[in-house]
Amino acid sequence: MPNSTNFGWIHESFRQLITRKYGRETWVKIIKIANFEEGLEPDIGQYYRDEDTLRIVNAMANVVGIPVEEVWEAYGGFLIQFTMETGWDELLRALAPDLEGFLDSLDALHYFIDHVVYRTKLKGPSFRCEPQPDGTLQLHYYSRRTGLYPIVKGVVREVARRIYDAEIMMRVLERKQEHYETFVMEHVIFVVQQIEGVSGAPTKALTSKSPSTISIEITPPGKFNITAHDFCFAFPFHVCFNKDLLVEHVGVHIRNRFPHMQRGVTPMSEIIELVHPEIPISYESIKAYRNSLFIFKLLAPPTPEGTSPIAEEVTVKGAMVFVNNGEFVTYMCSPNVTTVRELLNRNIFISDMQRHDSTRDLIMLNQ
């Protein structure tokens, strides 16, 4: 992918890995082979092309004497160690109570790091777990960069060991290329299996949501129903749609914006446009990326001929929730704004949001 870039922090973690394990002299030899000037190769604030990063990885494999796949896997393990050493330890431990939850949280973490902390806006990978009846996990990994999947093995193994006190085995069940209109996506399916501790000490389970043990039965004190009308007022910015991407119902704010919308007739594409993740919009792609943070742009409502919109475009940020056994998907979202000025420029008000929406607090905090 000639137009792809990597953040310099990756090169710095390469340097740390090699100098700690093999010494500075080995790293100097590597960067000379990779045609980098010493001291400039790990500039954290610099963006590097994929070709630059691959030159370093190939040089590492050549100098150390191991296959490139093993370099990536070793890097994946060290990446977790280095990340936890540089101030992210508590955040990583707070992500989830088990490995499945941790892996399902990685998409949101990638978005936070890329778009909020460093504002790199890189196209990170996506992860999705499926617990199996035998206690194993099937991990789906999607990436526009091919050949990097060994990193996942190193990352998952180190996370299991450091955060969940568990030893695991991973194997590739399937690896395939999925072709879309403008790009190719690598899709790798891993099987993650826990190894029983030799000492007999208890270890944390990979998942607490195994199909054989999970129970969702609820016995309410009385019959409880919520009407579509109540739901639309309770969640004023949601969009519910079916497998054909036809709108079923929307929150009251969006309904006011598009008053002529018809249930089961109006397509999503007439009211919202996908901004992130950059994937073709379809039921299957949404299902594959269901752990991602989704950002949509609300399309401009119809305006009288000869007039122009008076407000800036509105984007919303949220998550996809599959309901009725996947027959419908509800996009639960909030306005993607952080300041009062952004609100006013978009003709949105704090009262338009749910009272418990933390976006309200963020806006007032930034005032």
- Taking the C-alpha atoms of residue 61 and residue 210, their distance in angstroms, rounded to an integer, is 39
Q: 255: exposed, middle or buried (C-beta count within 10 Å: 0-12, 13-18, 19+)?
A: middle
4 band by pLDDT with thresholds 50, 70 and 90: very low
Question: CA dihedral defined by 248, 360, 356, 346, rounded to 10 degrees?
Answer: -10
Tell me if 268 sits within 8 A of 241, measured CB to CB: yes
| pLDDT of 18 higher than 50 | yes
End-to-end Cα separation, the chain, in angstroms: 42
Closest CA to 338 of 310, 311, 364: 364
Least confident of 136-150, 177-191, 237-251: 177-191
Could you tell me if 157 and 137 are in contact, meaning their C-beta atoms sit under 8 angstroms apart?
Answer: no
Report the sign of the C-alpha dihedral through residues 311, 313, 318, 319, in that order: positive
Looking at residue 198, its pLDDT comes to 53
Is 144's pLDDT higher than 90?
Answer: no
As a whole-number percent, the residues of the chain with pLDDT over 90 amount to 58
Q: How many residues does the chain have?
A: 367
Of 43-57, 93-107, 206-220, least confident by mean pLDDT is 206-220
Phi, psi of 84 (to 5 degrees): -70, -30
Span 55-107, pLDDT tens digits: 999 999 999 999 999 999 999 999 999 989 988 899 999 999 999 999 999 98
pLDDT for the residue 39: 64
Range scoring the smallest mean pLDDT among 77-91, 169-183, 194-208, 273-287: 194-208
pLDDT at 225: 77
Cα-Cα-Cα-Cα dihedral sign, residues 170, 173, 177, 178: negative
List the alpha helices (DSSP H) in 226-330: 228-234, 252-257, 283-288
CA 40 – CA 29 distance, rounded (Å): 14
Letter for the amino acid at 262? Q
* The two structure tokens encoding residue 34: 């990779």
C-alpha dihedral sign at 69, 71, 72, 78? positive
Write down the pLDDT at residue 48.
Answer: 73
**For 292-340, how does the pLDDT look when each residue is reduced to its tens digit (9 = 90+)?**
899 999 998 766 665 566 578 899 999 999 999 999 999 999 999 988 9
Which residue's entry shows tokens 């450091």? 162
Which pLDDT score is estimated for 172? 97
Tell me the C-alpha distance between 351 and 179, whole Å: 44
HSE-CB for 216 with a 13 A CA cutoff: 3
Q: Cα-flanking dihedrals φ and ψ of residue 66, to 5°?
A: -130, 160
Average pLDDT value for the chain: 86
Percent of the chain with pLDDT over 70: 83
Q: Which domains does the chain have, with CATH numbers?
A: 228-365 (3.30.450.260)
Helical residues (DSSP H) of 192-299, grouped into ranges: 228-234, 252-257, 283-288
In this structure, of 68-72, 149-153, 241-245, 359-363, the range with the lowest mean pLDDT score is 359-363
User: Residue 212: what pLDDT?
Assistant: 46
Longest dimension (CA), the chain: 77
Query: β-strands 137-143, 47-49: how paired?
Result: unpaired
* Residue 60 β-bridge partners: none
Rounded Cα gap, residues 355 and 178, in angstroms: 42
Three-state DSSP at 298 gives strand
Helices (H), the chain: 8-22, 24-33, 50-64, 68-83, 89-93, 99-104, 106-111, 150-164, 228-234, 252-257, 283-288, 340-345, 358-365
Ramachandran bin of 147, using left for φ above 0, alpha for ψ from -120 to 50, beta for the remaining angles: left
Q: Is the pLDDT of residue 214 over 60?
A: no
178 has a pLDDT exceeding 70: yes
